[in-house]
Amino acid sequence: MTEAGQIRARVSAVNDDIVTIRLLEDEEGSFYPIIKNEVVLICPHRSDKGFAEKLQAEVLRVRYGEADVQVFENTRGVSIGDGVEHTGEMLSVALGPGLLGQVYDGLQNPLELIASQHGFFLPRGLAVEGIDSQQHWSFQPAVKIGARVRAGDLLGSVQEGRFEHRILAPFTLRGTAEVSWVQEGSFTVTTPILRLQLEDGREREVTMQQRWPVRIPVNRDLLREGYSERLFPDQPLLTSIRLIDTFFPVARGGTACIPGPFGAGKTVLQNLISRYSDVDIVVIVACGERAGEVVETITEFPNLPDPRGGTLMDRTVIICNTSSMPVAAREASIYTGITISEYYRQMGYNVLLIADSTSRWAQAMRETSGRLEEIPGEEAFPAYLESAIRALYERAGMIRTNDGRIGSLTLIGTVSPAGGNFEEPVTQATLRTVKTFLGLSADRAYKRAYPAVDPLISWSRYLDQLAQWYDRELEPGWTKQVREMLALLRQGETVQQMMEVTGEEGVTLEDYLTWLKAQCLDQVYLQQDAFDDVDASTPIRRQLELLLLLAGCLNRLPPLADKEAARGHFVTLTGLFRNLNYSRHDSPDYRGYLAEIDKLRG
């Protein structure tokens, strides 16, 4: 690493946001050292202002005497010969109390603070602290003088909203250290709260804030040193969305993707998952999506009531890099979001990260790769696209720390394939990585069948993995019942295709009943009204009750003489179940509809 704040290189070429720098030589004739992923500051010269702006950039490739860097801002005015400062740090984020409720850009600049100071247009070269260094937090130590700690151990806590923000020993700590001094009280995140006596005799001051490079998993060294342990996900992430929890579950600490064309309802679906999922912390990365959709999320979340109390923003962090923001920062934004998510997981919280969308992130990588003149892969995406996607999703998971805390990070990425083509490289690479695939359908969205997840193409590998939990917590044989229902949907689709050719007259009464059963299952169980206070969220116990009731009605039909009688029966049955979905559990209306369904079933 080099000393920060001095010119160590000069700009030698500019290609949009890719800048080539020529390293300068020191007194001994050697090039000043630089490493991959190090952050440098490019200083465009202004005759009237001098070095007024310092543009943050990240080193992508190092050659003899030169390096290629990607600039996170507009490179207008950058010219050959401009000075370059080395920071000696990799691209990092600040981790500490004060993250919740914030809206950041891809480099952890707080957008609300910048807007209050500079208006709606963000100035170039602006660097703002990710965490307010003036705010005081009441620190309660959990260790005493003489205690021995290792990286990631609990040192104390502060109250961050309704959450206990656990202050952990620095993740960079090596070996065991002894607490030589600790204080209790109200301090800022930059005030020393504790001193550690290291194994080599040196002392290290610890604050409530630490920095971590975003491209390295927070728990990488902790897992390697045995301070943390990866656990096998054995519980579902309950979203209260019937189609997901019952048919295509996502494990807590697992991975999922939601691909779909424009207008298929990705934004509403991810907002429902964020609001009702059984998690503590939600991190949303708006990576390259349209600014209008992101603005809607930012303005709605502070006003949406959280089922657990307060507003949804109280437990949410938003990383915002829309399509109108620089491409390089868009590529970095997902890593910023996942690093913050890993930090809260390390405290022992259940975290949900929604990346919207990984397609825009991959496109940002494609643009950068093209400007670096790397050998392209399929559809000009970089050859390392699949390995980059795998490395991203592998950072999800459930862990247990050496003092028994258990935390999880569930990663759900939305994919926006052009024209809804699921065969394109990003979707295919994602499908080979994740374990739950929730494919959105333009046809279902056109029919107003929301959530527009197509049950005939979607799948979940967690269905078998979580079978023991479902059979133990819900109903023995639950997984078998679900598979029978999925088979019914496929049989109904087969009959539907036959009827499109021959009409209703061309199928038997038995096949027609199969189609009606599948239609009823789809309309009353798979579809939910996101704008109804009751139907928008169905607890898992109510899902169990509803599915068993519906299965009983479909398996025990009254005598039906012909197709007309069958159609009338299912129209009535479907209407009763829909009204049941809109009724609060155990209310008079709810019990009344149950009685009518029992009467209809005979």
CATH of the domain at 204: 2.40.50.100
pLDDT of residue 5 exceeding 70, the answer is no
Residue range 59-73, pLDDT digits in tens: 999 999 999 999 988
C-alpha dihedral sign at 459, 464, 466, 468: positive
Phi, psi of 547 (to 5 degrees): -65, -40
If asked whether residues 81 and 194 sit together in one domain, one would say no
CATH of the domain at 487: 1.10.1140.10
If asked whether residues 267 and 238 sit together in one domain, one would say yes
- DSSP structural state of residue 54: -
If asked whether residues 106 and 177 sit together in one domain, one would say no
Give exposure, 406-433, as e/b (b: 16+ Cβ within 10 Å). ebbbbbbbbbbbeebebebbbbbbbbeb
If asked whether residues 78 and 187 sit together in one domain, one would say no
Q: What pLDDT score does 292 carry?
A: 65
Residue range 501-551, pLDDT digits in tens: 999 999 999 999 999 999 999 999 999 999 999 999 999 999 999 999 999
Point out the domain boundary residue: 429, 459, 489.
Answer: 459
The stretch 199-216 carries a mean pLDDT of 95
| Residue of higher predicted confidence among 184 and 403 | 184
If asked whether residues 417 and 282 sit together in one domain, one would say yes
- The residues, any chain, with a CB within 8 Å of residue 160's CB and separated by 6 or more, are 97, 98, 99, 100, 137
Q: Is 30 helix (H, G, I), strand (E, B) or coil?
A: coil
If asked whether residues 330 and 415 sit together in one domain, one would say yes
Phi, psi of 437 (to 5 degrees): -120, 115
Residue 299 is assigned to a structural domain of this protein:
yes
The stretch 330-345 carries a mean pLDDT of 94
Give exposure, 122-161, as e/b (b: 16+ Cβ within 10 Å). eebbeebbbbbeeeebebebbbeeeeebbbbbbbbbbebe
If asked whether residues 485 and 395 sit together in one domain, one would say no
If asked whether residues 445 and 567 sit together in one domain, one would say no
Name the domain count of the chain.
4
Residue 220 is assigned to a structural domain of this protein:
no
Three-state secondary structure readout of 189-225: CCCCCEEEECCCCCEEEECCCEEEECCCCCCHHHHHC
Q: What pLDDT score does 46 carry?
A: 60
If asked whether residues 105 and 147 sit together in one domain, one would say no
- DSSP structural state of residue 114: H
CATH of the domain at 70: 2.40.30.20
- The residues, any chain, with a CB within 8 Å of residue 2's CB and separated by 6 or more, are 8, 32, 33, 34, 86, 88
Structure tokens at 585: 């559990």
Q: Any alpha helices (H) in 261-420, and if so which ranges?
A: 266-276, 291-300, 327-347, 358-371, 385-393
The stretch 394-422 carries a mean pLDDT of 92
How confident is residue 2, by pLDDT bands cut at 50, 70 and 90? Answer: very low
Residue 155 is assigned to a structural domain of this protein:
yes
Residue 161 is assigned to a structural domain of this protein:
yes
Residue 64 is assigned to a structural domain of this protein:
yes
Q: What pLDDT score does 501 carry?
A: 93
If asked whether residues 148 and 177 sit together in one domain, one would say yes
Residue 222 is assigned to a structural domain of this protein:
no
Residue 132 is assigned to a structural domain of this protein:
no
Structural domain span for residue 83: 7-91
CATH of the domain at 314: 3.40.50.300
| Residue of higher predicted confidence among 225 and 492 | 492
pTM given for the model? 0.94
Range in 30-34, 292-296, 500-504, 568-572 with the lowest mean pLDDT: 292-296
How confident is residue 47, by pLDDT bands cut at 50, 70 and 90? Answer: very low
Give exposure, 56-83, as e/b (b: 16+ Cβ within 10 Å). bbbbbebeeebbbbbbbbebeebeeebb
The residue among 240, 258, 277 whose CA lies nearest residue 532 is 240
How confident is residue 38, by pLDDT bands cut at 50, 70 and 90? Answer: very high
If asked whether residues 323 and 448 sit together in one domain, one would say yes
If asked whether residues 455 and 551 sit together in one domain, one would say no
Q: d(Cα 538, Cα 551) in Å, to the nearest integer?
A: 17
Residue 215 is assigned to a structural domain of this protein:
no
Q: d(Cα 40, Cα 125) in Å, to the nearest integer?
A: 12
Residue range 53-103, pLDDT digits in tens: 889 999 999 999 999 999 988 888 899 999 999 998 999 999 999 999 999
Structure tokens at 560: 């039906």
Phi, psi of 553 (to 5 degrees): -70, -35
Provide the angle, in degrees to the nearest 10, between the axes of the packed helices 478-502 and 509-521: 120
